[in-house]
A and B are shown apart, each in its own frame.
Chain A
Amino acid sequence: MSDPIIQMKNIEKHFGSVIALAGVSVDVFPGECHCLLGDNGAGKSTFIKTMSGVHKPTAGEIIFEGKPLDFADPRDAMAAGIATVHQHLSMIPLMSVSRNFFMGNEPMKKIAGISFFDHDFANRVTMEEMRKMGINLRGPDQAVGTLSGGERQTVAIARAVYFGAKVLILDEPTSALGVRQTANVLATIDKVRKQGIAVVFITHNVRHAMAVGDRFTVLNRGQTLGTAVRGEITPEELQDMMAGGQEMVQLEGSLGGTV
């Protein structure tokens, strides 16, 4: 493998007296799907917000494409090629797919010196990109509200890829989805990875992680419990690490190993 596209070294983040991250190190290579696992409160959200420029780390270093990086705000991160797809907050249901697709990056054409929204271009590109991702739209003016949850995630991912994301952070993209929709989103992640984009996939579902992940990092109480490579770890071991071991063993006994 080549050099990592982004390295997070000993990231610490304190909110007042609360230590949300106590020295987390993760590196992500182009074309890899790096799964970030952790239970609620493990620090996953704080960590990706630091990566995408929302938070400034209290200590530690972010190295992006070999250079130390200091994002002032999320727009900086976006411009550099770090895109985040949030669980719910990426799409606007009342707006058409093409308006959503180009939201914040509207294509322009000049007529008589005045810049207008280039709807023809936006519609054409939207239809093309959606077809590539396996979504058949009735038309580019179809409202996002009529799409399923999985399709919305796919539109959001396709949008990030189209606008040149090098690192794609997916914040629990499958947590609210049904089985089939989850499969679609996981297939989309696979397609994106094959295009050489680094994917950071946040989830607390081990099975979803095992389906597409190349490497797995487990966060627990603001610390990394280690990074494992695909094939070197079983789902059970990951599950145990996420839950912090002990109590889970007892629980699983009583639940008959179904968790």
Chain B
Amino acid sequence: MADTTDTDERIKEISPLRRALIRPELGGMVGTVAVFTLFALFAFDSGMFNSQGVMNWSIVSAQFMIIAVGACLLMIAGEFDLSVGSMIGFAGMMIAVFGVVLAWPMWMAILITFVICCGLGALNGWIVVRTGLPSFIVTLAFLFILRGFTIYIPQTVERKTIIGGIRDAAEGDWLAPIFGGKIGQPIFQWLGDMGVIGVFERGTRAGQPVVDGIPMLIVWAIALIIFGHILLTRTRFGNWIFAAGGDAEAARNSGVPVNKVKILMFMFTAFCATVFAVCQVMEFGSAGADRGLLKEFEAIIAVVIGGALLTGGYGSVIGAALGALIFGVVQQGLFFAGVESSLFRVFLGVILLFAVILNTYIRRIITGER
């Protein structure tokens, strides 16, 4: 047995570069640096990097991050959810129906919406694991089912597709500020007083900073990223997520409750979509039937840019978050740089293709396939 000697002459020492390459976050990190360098060079004076500019792309990125965390864990567990966008629209509409039309207290509307949406996520997952059908098909069905209800319900009860008045209904509620509020106002006021960030020059708010706090949306994004990252890399359940997506049969043979893991990940994805929806309706003050359109694809793209494999079993929450950041910065940065916004889609397509090719190459390195 030659393999028992201290070194195996057939295994080449792998270079640090190759070692770094197999970290899933690498693509996201390189992309983030590249994107920031590019916009710092070409759009620095456009206002993109002053307080309003930073807040602008941070909010957009945070929106992507919230749904990317859920999509990332689900993809690593080996499944897709194409109903994320419809779930966002549906959840927002449920809050409007419960909180405005039925005039329930806002906290109750929010909590019941979370229960309904996580239940729908569980139903998605249950159908996938029980029928063995590809999650692509099952969740595509839910994409249409949920979107249909999101249009039908407000049309039937209110004869319109946008329900407003949510901000008034949420006035004085204890739960609503956790999604729609802001934190850190004193710090921003102080920064404004010190002249670090811009303040209003005129009007009723003269002297107040233009950016007066961090929206809870961003706090949610950071909290979900930290939670997702620790869950995936530092817990037993995280190992089960990798195992369920890597090879469900081998995982079952080792006693991993694969079905439970997958259903819980569908529920978590629905939870993230609902967080997104609640933050959005609290910010806009209304729920619209067309909210969340195409969000499922944007989440999947962010996750893939972040280094996750479409086939499951490999990926990183930090990578997905960086993918979402790249997404948000480029989308808003092109606007600041005065580039025609339709080119953003071209960029998306190109970077998606590039990321998938890179990931496939990395997969070959890890598994030793040729």
Q: Interface residues, chain A, CB within 8 Å of chain B?
A: 74-75, 78, 84, 86, 89-95, 99, 102-106, 108, 115-117, 119, 134-136, 138, 143, 145-146, 151, 180, 183-184, 187
Contact = CB atoms under 8 A, between A and B. Distances in A.
Contact of A84 (B8, B239, B251, B253): B253
Interface string B1-13: 1111111100100
B205 interface: no
Contacts of A187: 1
Interface in B245-269: 246-247, 249-251, 253-256
A102 B236 CA distance: 9
Interface string B52-90: 000000000000000000000000000000000000000
29 contacts: A74-B255, A86-B253, A89-B247, A90-B250, A92-B250, A92-B251, A94-B309, A94-B313, A94-B363, A94-B367, A95-B239, A99-B242, A99-B243, A103-B254, A104-B240, A104-B256, A105-B255, A106-B239, A116-B235, A117-B239, A134-B3, A135-B3, A136-B3, A136-B6, A136-B7, A136-B8, A145-B367, A145-B369, A146-B367
Contacts of B254: 90, 103-105
A102 B247 CA distance: 15
A157 to B, nearest CB: 14
Given A138-B11, A145-B368, A151-B3, A116 B250 contact: no
Given A116-B235, A151-B3, A184-B1, 13 more contacts: A86-B250, A90-B253, A92-B247, A92-B250, A92-B313, A94-B242, A94-B363, A95-B243, A103-B239, A136-B8, A146-B367, A180-B2, A184-B3
Interface residues of B, number: 37
B235 A117 contact: yes
Given A103-B251, A134-B4, A117 B246 contact: no
Nearest to B309: A94
A86 B247 CA distance: 13
A95 B313 contact: yes
Contacts of B366: 93-94, 143, 145-146
Nearest to A114: B235
Interface in B171-221: none
> Which residue, B239, B242, B243, B249, has most C-beta atoms of chain A within 10 A?
B239
B3 A104 contact: no
B234 interface: yes
Interface string B226-241: 0000000111101110
Nearest to A111: B234
Contacts of B363: 94
Given A143-B367, A145-B368, A94 B246 contact: yes
B314 interface: yes
Contact of A115 (B235, B251, B369): B235
A183 B3 CA distance: 11
Contacts of B256: 103-104
Contacts of B4: 134, 136
Contacts, number: 100
A78 B256 CA distance: 12
B249 A89 contact: yes
Nearest to A139: B19
A240 B238 CA distance: 50
Contacts of B367: 93-94, 143, 145-146
Contacts of B314: 94
Contact of B368 (A78, A90, A146, A183): A146
Contacts of A145: 366-369
B236 A115 contact: yes
Nearest to B253: A89
Most chain A CB within a 10 A radius of its CB, from B4, B236, B249: B236
Contacts of A74: 253, 255
Contacts of A75: 255
A106 B251 CA distance: 13
The 10 closest A-B pairs by CB, nearest first: A145-B367, A92-B246, A104-B255, A104-B254, A134-B4, A106-B236, A94-B313, A146-B368, A103-B254, A93-B367
A88 B251 CA distance: 12
Given A75-B255, A143-B366, A187-B1, A95 B236 contact: no
A19 B202 CA distance: 90
A146 to B, nearest CB: 5
B1 A91 contact: no
Contacts of A135: 3
Nearest to B311: A94
A93 B234 contact: no
A88 B1 CA distance: 23
Looking at A75, A95, A99, A134, the one whose CB has the most chain B CB atoms below 10 A away is A95
A75 B363 CA distance: 32
Given A134-B3, A134-B4, A143-B366, A89 B239 contact: no
Contacts of B368: 143, 145-146
Contacts of A180: 2
Contacts of B249: 89
B253 A92 contact: no
A117 to B, nearest CB: 5
